Amino acid sequence: MAHRWGMVVDLDRCTGCEACVTACHAENNIPTVGPQEAANGRAMHWMRVERYWEGEYPDAKVKFRPVLCQQCDNAPCEAVCPTYAAHQTDEGLNAQVYNRCIGTRYCANACSYNVRFFNFFNPQWEKPLHLQLNPDVSVREVGVMEKCTFCVQRIKTGKRTAATENRELKDGDIQPACAQACPSGAIIFGDLNDHESRAARLAHSPRGTKLLEDLGAEPKVTYLQRQPWNESDA
Amino acid sequence: MSRTRNNPLADDLLRPLFNTGVWFYLAVAALGTVVLTGLTAWAYQMWHGMGVAGVNWPVFWGFHETNFVFWIGISHAGTLISAILRLVNARWRRPVTRCAEVITVFALMIGAIFPIIHLGKPWLFYWVAPYPSQGSIWPNFRSPLVWDFFAINTYLTGSLLFLMLPMIPDFALVRDRAVGLRKRIYGLLAMGWQGTTQQWNRLEAAMQIMAIAIIPVAVSVHTIVSFDFSMAQVPMWHSTIFGPYFVAGAIFSGIAALILAMTVLRRMLRLHDYLQDIHFDNLAKLLLLMALLWGYFVTAERITVWYGNEPHEMAAFWSTQRGLYSPLFWTMVCCNFVLPLALLPFRRMRIGFGAVVAASGVVVGMWLERFLIIVPSLSNKQLPYTWGGYTPQPVEVIVMASTFAAMALLYTLFAKVVPIISIWEMRVGNQPHPAATAAPEHELPELSKARP
């Protein structure tokens, strides 16, 4: 059966340390744009940790939510792309074909999660940082959109490794950079079509919700969160 | 040559074609400079990347897209109005139709460039067109941007035909008066027009067909432009009212642009005998009607969102009603509704300076409307963490200014090479059939020869 990659993010475990953000930048050759351009809204974080405050000081509680591309089954970004640069793969990934993108930025507007990023300028790395680019990931040029790929290069490597070792792909063979870097193990990646995988089981947890579920984009990322109104099930 | 000498109307209306004043060169030089500056700004943006514009995360669309919708809106001045006036056979239309149709063609050309200007890779714009390629990838027909491509091209082709058809007899008129190279060029444009009854009948039939065909095309074009927004689940975009709201707004801004263009033409080309008070009076009445319709649409849109009180939408709603963008919103309401309603009920205002003030207000107000549809919604999407803002940058302002100059430049050049008022339609006047009056006397024997 075809794979269907998905993710579970346990908000009760997330400490907001942003190790996932850093790991994502390093793994995927995401350029940093500097403080000025970041203030102008040109920062690119395929993975970001959103902070929300509840209550008033001094009884304020801060909540963290790592947000990345939700890899929607019914993705609004794909329908609006005039050139099929954004399209759904057989394994349920929302692929972005950089060579096919002409930069209408329509996908970014259509995405309710705002997880798509535009290369407003050609990316630059100060020497010697250019030597640490990941050779498995293409560097994007000015004028195209980019977004979280669920570390598709790691998915491919995992499948190839399993094939050379002449065995089936096991749950946990493949880990995106964010999941690997998370010190509290809040990010779990796996095949949703494999009902025994950790991600598939946790995706059905009563603690699970989808982000902006009512919009009907059918995201493949599930957020786990203690639900005080439903304590007995948690 | 003798047959055209006894035609004072043509003498008068062809004057700008044969006599060139200093002001023409000055205007072309000045406008051309501004257009070149705009092209330079675009080149600068292409060279450095879209980052030199103000667009950012999460407001990925800004001035360029506003101008796109604005200019496509302006284009509804001409063809639609002139087609309707032709179909209902409004007699006062005759001196107005060509001025209006020209606005359509040029505004469409300018509007259609903006989707290319706004691309991250403008040189690949043709990828939205279906063409046989080695990769055998077609455009995504689910994308409203591809619908735009087809809608705008259909409308541009249709409007060009609609503009060119009634120009043929006038081209023939110029051909008969001109000498040398000019005679040959106009001869080609006149496509062998001899003014036979058969030719008149065919012209009339063709124009009748085009007048009917162009109306649904015009309506669909701005509906599809509105789909760029209403098809996306962005707060305040995802609304069924957008289609008719955009079409009404487009006609509204189009009439305003037409009034302004006619005012300038009347002064510059001294056309007071042709563009009379009745034309301004009638167009201003139409503008007043559209102001009321616009007010109705805005009220319907706003009150539905406000009463529905959906949290996602309210953020975008309040940012325009009393937040950051509210000064722009209330300026828009003044320009588009208060000003026309205050000025245009009075005939003295409609035929005088009042119409110019109201029309200028409407052009500004409709531009603001397009901006207020795009930017506040993108600034306030569903996740509050991602809220942002937008500040236009010089490159966007320069490109925008240059398109206004481009419109004026194209119009000036057009009025130089084509009589801006349809001479034969003026001559036909109230007569039932053009062949009866428009064919010069001595062509009648040829006419009978042509019959079997």
Considering only CB atoms, which chain B residues are within 8 Å of A212?
382-383
Say how far apart CA B443 and CA B110 lie, in whole Å.
42
Residue B101 lies in a domain: yes
Candidate from A178-182, B135-139, B316-320 with smallest mean pLDDT? B135-139
What integer pLDDT is reported at residue A194 of this predicted model? 94
Q: Answer yes or no: do B386 and A104 touch at CB < 8 A.
A: no
**Domain assignment of residue B215, given as a range:** 3-447
Which residues contact residue B452 at a Cβ distance below 8 angstroms, ignoring those fewer than 6 apart?
none
Which residues in chain A touch residue B61, judged by CB atoms under 8 angstroms apart? 105, 109
pLDDT category at B88 given cuts 50, 70, 90 is confident
Q: Does B47 touch chain A (CB under 8 A)?
A: no
Higher pLDDT, A234 or A115: A115
- Record: contact B140-A50, CB cut-off 8 A: no
For residue range A68-83, what is the model confidence (pLDDT) as tens digits?
999 999 999 999 999 9
List, for residues B282-317, the tens digit of each pLDDT value.
999 999 999 999 999 999 999 999 999 999 999 999
B118 in A contact zone (CB under 8 Å):
yes
Higher pLDDT, B428 or B36: B36
Residues of B with CB below 8 A from A40's CB? 56
Single-letter amino acid, residue B59: V
CB < 8 Å to A83, chain B: 127-128, 137, 139-140
- Give A224's strand partners: A10, A208
Nearest C-alpha of chain B: how many angstroms from A90?
A: 18
Count of structural domains within chain B: 1
The closest of B237, B284, B279 to B379, measured between CA atoms, is B237
Report the candidate in B184, B186, B183, B154 with the shortest Cα–Cα distance to residue B170: B186
CB contact at 8 A, B209 and B165: no
Average pLDDT over residues B243-269: 93
Instruction: Work out the average pLDDT over B183-188.
Output: 94
Taking only the tens place, the pLDDT of each residue in B196-232 is 999 999 999 999 999 999 999 999 999 999 999 999 9
Query: pLDDT (tens digit, 9 = 90+) per residue, B142-175?
Result: 999 999 999 999 999 999 999 999 999 999 999 9
φ, ψ for residue B314, nearest 5 deg: -65, -30
Q: Is residue B149 part of a domain?
A: yes
CATH of the domain at B16: 1.20.1630.10
Q: Inspect the interface and report whether the beta carbons of A112 and B146 lie closer than 8 Å.
A: no
What's the rounded Cα separation, in Å, for the pair B435 and B448?
13
ipTM for the assembly: 0.92
Tell which of A72, A77, A83 to mutate to test the B interface (max B CBs under 10 Å): A83
pLDDT tens digits along A6-19: 999 999 999 999 99
Who's near B185: CB < 8 A, 6+ residues apart? none
User: Structure tokens of B154?
Assistant: 């259909």
CB contact under 8 A, B58 and A104: no
Write down all domains in chain A, each with its CATH number in brackets: 5-229 (3.30.70.20)
pTM score, whole prediction: 0.92
Handedness of CA B284, B288, B294, B297 (dihedral sign): negative
Asked if A227 reaches chain B (Cβ–Cβ under 8 Å), the answer is no
Q: Do B49 and A142 touch (CB under 8 A)?
A: yes
Nearest to B263 by CA among B413, B110, B96, B106: B96
**pLDDT reported for residue B431:** 47
- pLDDT > 90? residue B139: yes
What pLDDT score does B6 carry?
Answer: 63
> Which residues of B are less than 8 Å from A52 in CB distance?
384-385
Q: Is residue B164 part of a domain?
A: yes
Task: Tell me if B452 is assigned to some domain.
Answer: no
Residue of A nearest to B55 (CA): A41
